Amino acid sequence: MVASVAVGSLVWVEDHDEAWLDGEVISVNGDDIKVLCTSGKTVVVKSSNVYPKDAEAPPCGVDDMTKLAYLHEPGVLQNLKSRYDINEIYTYTGNILIAVNPFQRLPHLYDSHMMAQYKGAAFGELSPHPFAVADAAYRLMINEGISQAILVSGESGAGKTESTKLLMRYLAYMGGRLASEGRSVEQKVLESNPVLEAFGNAKTVRNNNSSRFGKFVELQFDERGRISGAAIRTYLLERSRVCQLSDPERNYHCFYMLCAAPPEDIKHLKLGNPRTFHYLNQTNCYELDGIDDAKEYTATRKAMDTVGISSEEQDSIFRVIAAILHLGNIEFTKGKEYDSSMPKDEKSWFHLRTAAELFMCDEKALEDSLCRRVIVTRDETITKELDPEAAVSSRDALAKVVYSRLFDWLVDKINNSIGQDPNSKYLIGVLDIYGFESFKTNSFEQFCINLTNEKLQQHFNQHVFKMEQEEYTREEINWSYIEFIDNQDVLDLIEKKPGGIIALLDEACMFPRSTHDTFAQKLYQTFKNHKRFSKPKLARSDFTICHYAGDVTYQTELFLEKNKDYVIAEHQALLSASKCSFASSLFPVSNEETSKQSKFSSIGSRFKQQLQALLETLSATEPHYIRCVKPNNLLKPHIFENQNVLQQLRCGGVLEAIRISCAGYPTKRPFYEFVDRFGVLAPEALDGSTDEVAVCKKLLEKVGLEGYQIGKTKVFLRAGQMAVLDTKRTEILGKSASIIQRKIRSYMARKSFILFRRSTILIQSVCRGELARHDYETKRREASCLRIQRDLRMYIARKVYKEKRASALSVQTGMRGMAARNELRFRRQTKAAILIQSHCRKFLAHSKYVKLKKATITTQSAWRGRVARKELRSLKMAARETGALQAAKNKLEKQVEELTWRLQLEKRMRTDLEEAKTQENTKLRTAVQELQLQLKEAKDTLVKEREAAKTAAETIPVIQEVPVVDHELTEKLNAENAELKDLVSSLKTKIIETEKKYEETYKLSEERLKQAMEAESMIVKLKTTMHSLEERIADMESENKIQWQSLLTNKGVPPQSPDLASKVLENGNHANESITLNDLLLTPEKGFETPDNKPRRPPIDRQHEDVDALMECVVKDVGFSQGKPVAAFTIYKCLLHWKSFEAERTSVFDRLVQMIGSAIEDQDSNDHMAYWLSNTSTLLFLLQKSMKPAGTAGTASVRKPQPTSLFGRMTMGFRSSPSTVNFGAASAALETVKQVEAKYPALLFNQQLIAYVEKMYGIIRDNLKKELGSLLALCIQAPRTSKGSVLRSGRSFGKESHTNHWQGIIDCLNTLLTTLKENFVPPVLVQKIFTQTFQYVNVQLFNSLLLRRECCTFSNGEYVKSGLAELELWCCQAKDEYAGSAWDELKHIRQAVGFLVIHQKYRISYDEIINDLCPVLSVQQLYRICTLYWDDNYNTRSVSSEVISSMRVLMTEDSNNAVSNSFLLDDNSSIPFSIDELSNSIEVKDFLDVKPAIDLLENPYFHFLHE
């Protein structure tokens, strides 16, 4: 509370409706304080009833409430409300997490990327989250070897179950198995949740899915930190809910699911609408909004399958559930005897029979167990009749005990399915248990629940006090006089033996005649003087207990009945004898039962034992706490009810923890923060001082405070001392403000005077100028009048002259034009006559030429066909003279090729013929039509020429003597017309013949198709024969070569050796055994003799030695030539010379792959990796340029002339097929890179090279990311400096200047860039490396900005912006050749930082933000930045509340889209380039001057490298 209050101070005052209101003190009158609240209300309160308000608290709250300047009830409440308004639902109080239920989906907070962010992060480093609590527990378990426990508490609807699921998810993420290992333990635990929720959850007044039992999940871990087993413990299932309901609650979900089951199940179980069953129709609530019970039924059965419950067991479970529903519909009336009972009517008898049928027990036995009791004495057995009321109680007791046993069976079944690890090293327990409850009517269940919370609160208080002690010890301050607040007296009141409430309740239950009245009177007598126990006024059997969270009044009417846990002997006997094995297994017969009497068992005592065992487990673990809070009772988002939340904070023990903290030192401030805030109280202490501790002591001594403590890193203040310091600070700041205002007013007055004087002088100068301009205008008008008169007279005279001149020209022009037109008309008539004559002569000559050309082509075709047939016969004769083996081989190969070609040809024959016929018919029709048109045009032309001649004869007398109608020409035209008609008739005849030929060809194609089908069966045999012949030929060639070598060695080369050598080369030239003619003839000594004159090894061994020499050379760093890697070029030249690309089988490529793989094993050296990346990428480029697809080799360089006739084109169409079409010769290959036909080994080697290039690229990129990772964590937050120290001494207290971490990033980039340049890595790869690296920088910086509130500040934005400027400068220096678009990858962090450093954010509209400032950022990201922003330098405000509201509306609309809700960025680790991009970045001409490896040039077997 405020010790001294001054006018203008900000305080909190208590309010009946809103709990607390903030306001400003406007007057102080002794102890009475008048406060103007922000709501507009003015109140007068006592000074002892107000709390100070921190004026400098961030508007969006703090993530850890221990950082609050004032740790009190209104401060905590306001902080939670501020964070809830911006969807920050998690807040720390020390190491306690407070979770406020948002009542809406926030998927962006719980995805896998978020779990990765919290993995390994220090507690408190990132924003509050359940993942942080789970990670802290897991890390502590692994590092310290201590079992952990996470206690999740809160009232119904606060979100305990969801928080527990999140904890389980994260622990499964950290310690789970791989997906390949099958279903893991954690998966089984998570899959059991739907089953337990179906049978243990129900709708209550406060929650639609309230857990009506406590659950403690033990996750067991092995020594490696992996989950090895688990167990689920349950506590105090609310059995009374099965029989008794209050509106508007519901019974357990499973009853409604069963009523919505498929029709066949409903018919079998004789169920119906829930409204027809007594156990369900006690309320008006049967359905839940958004929940389909039919779908839930199906999902529950699937979940039961998952946890290992068989279909037979499931059927038995739902039979028992249906039997319970039918039991509830059995009503009783008085029987024939006194105090007896029997089923009321036929409906009750029906439900009785149905229940007996479902239980598989005797109907009469069921009736007797409900309506009668058997009392066994020493002498006899007495049967006692029950009245209708007692029969109803017996029915309900049976229903409750059956449901309770069923629930326990489910839990045991789930535990057996999950499996426990008896050898587990550690465990992490997650406790999901009911919170403190206080209703209008509180019965035995609330009593047990509140006992649990009292126990847990005591454990919680001890933990909080222990944490306080640890901090005080760590800071080395005196804390011995601080008192510990305990609630042991309440626990003794409830559970102490023999005089506790539970002991008295058990005692009352032991006596048959005890009632709730006698039990209540016993309590009144026993605890009448207890300070925690009281009797309410006007109550006969109620009692009140003062709990830590407030007073709760309990009604004892049902305490005795609910505390009894014995099973009625008749019920036990009935169900034990059931024919249903499942039902009988729920009620096993105990060996200790020697009689049929019921034995008493206390639920309270059993629950107390379970609770004690739970606390013993928790005491053996390190606890972590999550307090769940429900913000409103409407279960709707964006509603925060202060009174409701405050009550939950009390019930959850949060305010109790604050009370414990306030008993010691509630205010703890680091030295630099304390100096920054209160340095104005003693400015002289800051002058020249570098010791923060000494400055803090001087400040506190000057103020005169007592009782504070100076720790090692913090100042510890007692309650109320912070308010004293703030009051004095406010006074000093007020005085300083007055001085500043006085100076400002003086400055404004002088500024106004100077402005007035300047304005006067300006007005005078303007007036003088206006007079001068008026005099000048008058003189200018006089001069203008004289000028206008002169120009007008000149214009009139010139106009008259121009009119006369134009008339004369018009007359002359008309006369000359008439003469010219007469001359032109005569010349045109003469030219037309000449043109008609020339066209007639040209037509006659052209017709003659066409006939001659046709005859010539026909003759040439016939002659060429004759020559071709003759040449074919000669070739056939020559082919028969070939050697037997070679001829057989070539013949088989040709037969295979010919059969393959024919097979392909015949398959397309029909289609080609049909297309050819259609095209030819179309062309013939078109030709006929064109000829007809030409004939018609010729006739029209002749008629027009006759008419023109007649007209010309009549109109032009000069040329009447010229004979226009030439009879000879007319006769020629008629003759040509007749010839054209003959041609048309001949074309028609040819068309008919063509159709006949087409039919003959079609029949022939069908016959050939049959032959092709037969040829397919022969191909396999021919290939087999061909392979055997190839092997024989290869063996013979090897023997011939060896013999020829020995012959050359011993006797020299005979005269016939050239021919023999040529034959060997012709027949035995293979990829792996090739030799040249020059080697045989010119250098026989070198080619076939060793220095000791012994025969050398065969060619295959020689090549192996050459490959070894190549590997030995290129495995070393042979450098670069002309900017290209020598090793890659040397390998390529050798492969090309050895014809390895064309080989069907070779080991060269395998050797190269092994060599490259072993060379890049050292992945830490970027220099080594860059060298091999350059070589591998270059070799890959050369291979890409050299290889061409199979089937294109051997194409002719000169194309044959295409036939010009119609039938020639048809013949070519029939003979061609897709596999043999000549597409033209390939482009001329360069001398350096030759194109070869690649075989399978070369293609495989190409793929392996691609894989190695991608692997080495990824290694270099990941190495750079690893180096930058540690630096980026330091670059996201600006170094913290002290304001006071900066103002006074220009440097921080006792702290060295921070190194520029951004320069470290620049150095890493420069080092890698230099390495890549020195190794001549292709620029496209360099660009991709830096582009992906900058993308990684963008992701890391941006995600840290969104997850850490201390990073989202104005000063931090300036710091990061300066670092980004250095990165931009580096990109400019590196140029686009290497940097590429790397700078554009930083767009998210650039726009976010640019937004942070804007001063007047509150003036910016939402449209300006999304369109101009931050167009790349999503609404969720902008909302996160705007709500986390705070200014630690200038106290500038964030965006306006209207902008925040607009963002919130858009987020609500997109809440169903999980992708749009994710505000964190993902790092892309894929390979961002293709091989085509790599190939296009290098040119073949760059290799013209590259030199091979020098070591190989000296080897005589690599002389080809000199070429």
Tens-digit pLDDT profile for residues 968-981:
767 777 787 777 77
Confidence check: pLDDT of 1097 > 60: no
> CA nearest 57: which of 74, 43, 42?
74
pLDDT in tens, 1103-1138: 678 888 888 888 888 888 888 898 888 888 888 888
- Which of 201-210, 226-235, 1498-1507: highest mean pLDDT? 226-235
Identify the pLDDT of residue 1046.
55
pLDDT in tens, 283-335: 999 998 888 999 999 999 998 988 889 999 999 999 999 999 999 999 999 98
Name the β-bridge partners of 1187.
Answer: 1236
Q: How far apart are CA 1156 and CA 1142, in angstroms?
A: 22
**Rounded mean pLDDT, 1443-1455:** 78
Confidence check: pLDDT of 1278 > 80: no
Task: Pick 1273 or 849 by higher pLDDT.
Answer: 849
Identify the pLDDT of residue 660.
67
CA distances from 819 to 810, 816, 823, 825, 1074 (A): 15, 5, 7, 10, 92
Chain center to CA of 556: 56
SS3 of 1256-1305: HHHHHHHHHHHHHHHHHHHHCCCCCCCHHHHHHHCCCCCCCCCCCHHHHH
> CA nearest 222: which of 376, 399, 423, 419?
423
Identify the pLDDT of residue 754.
93
- Which of 214-218, 944-948, 954-958, 984-988: highest mean pLDDT? 214-218
Identify the pLDDT of residue 566.
67
What is this structure's pTM?
0.62
Q: Is the CB of residue 170 less than 8 Å from the CB of residue 115? A: yes
Q: Which two tokens stand for residue 113?
A: 């990327």
Task: Pick 578 or 1036 by higher pLDDT.
Answer: 578
Buried b vs exposed e over 554-565: b needs ≥16 C-beta within 10 Å? bbbbebbebbbb
Out of 80-84, 714-718, 798-802, which region has the weakest mean confidence (pLDDT)? 714-718
Average pLDDT for the chain: 80
Q: In what helix (H) or strand (E) does residue 1313 lie, and over which residues does it extend? A: helix 1301-1318
Confidence of residue 359 (pLDDT cuts 50, 70, 90): very high
Out of 925-934, 1040-1049, 1082-1091, 1139-1148, which region has the weakest mean confidence (pLDDT)? 1082-1091
pLDDT in tens, 501-546: 999 998 888 887 888 899 999 999 999 889 999 999 888 899 999 9
**3-state DSSP percent of the chain in helix, strand and coil, to 5:** 60, 10, 30
**Rounded mean pLDDT, 468-479:** 76
Local structure of residue 1197 (DSSP, 8 states): S
Out of 52-61, 449-458, 651-660, 726-735, which region has the weakest mean confidence (pLDDT)? 651-660
Chain center to CA of 1186: 41
Identify the pLDDT of residue 398.
92
Out of 191-195, 280-284, 959-963, 969-973, which region has the weakest mean confidence (pLDDT)? 959-963
Identify the pLDDT of residue 1281.
54
Confidence check: pLDDT of 1090 > 50: no
**Rounded mean pLDDT, 677-705:** 80
Confidence check: pLDDT of 1140 > 80: yes
Confidence check: pLDDT of 182 > 80: no
**Backbone conformation region of residue 763, classed left if phi is above 0, alpha if psi is from -120 to 50, else beta:** alpha
- Which of 350-364, 908-922, 1159-1173: highest mean pLDDT? 350-364
Confidence check: pLDDT of 47 > 50: yes
What residues act catalytically?
156-157, 161, 207, 210-211, 435, 437
**Rounded mean pLDDT, 48-61:** 84
Which amino acid is present at 1370? W
Site of tokens 């179906």: 198
Confidence check: pLDDT of 1357 > 80: yes
Confidence check: pLDDT of 105 > 70: yes
Confidence of residue 887 (pLDDT cuts 50, 70, 90): low
pLDDT in tens, 110-167: 888 888 888 888 888 888 999 999 999 999 999 888 899 999 988 877 888 889 889 9
Identify the pLDDT of residue 543.
94
Confidence of residue 1062 (pLDDT cuts 50, 70, 90): very low
Identify the pLDDT of residue 337.
82
CB atoms within 10 A of CB 237: 22
Identify the pLDDT of residue 1301.
81
Confidence of residue 1042 (pLDDT cuts 50, 70, 90): low
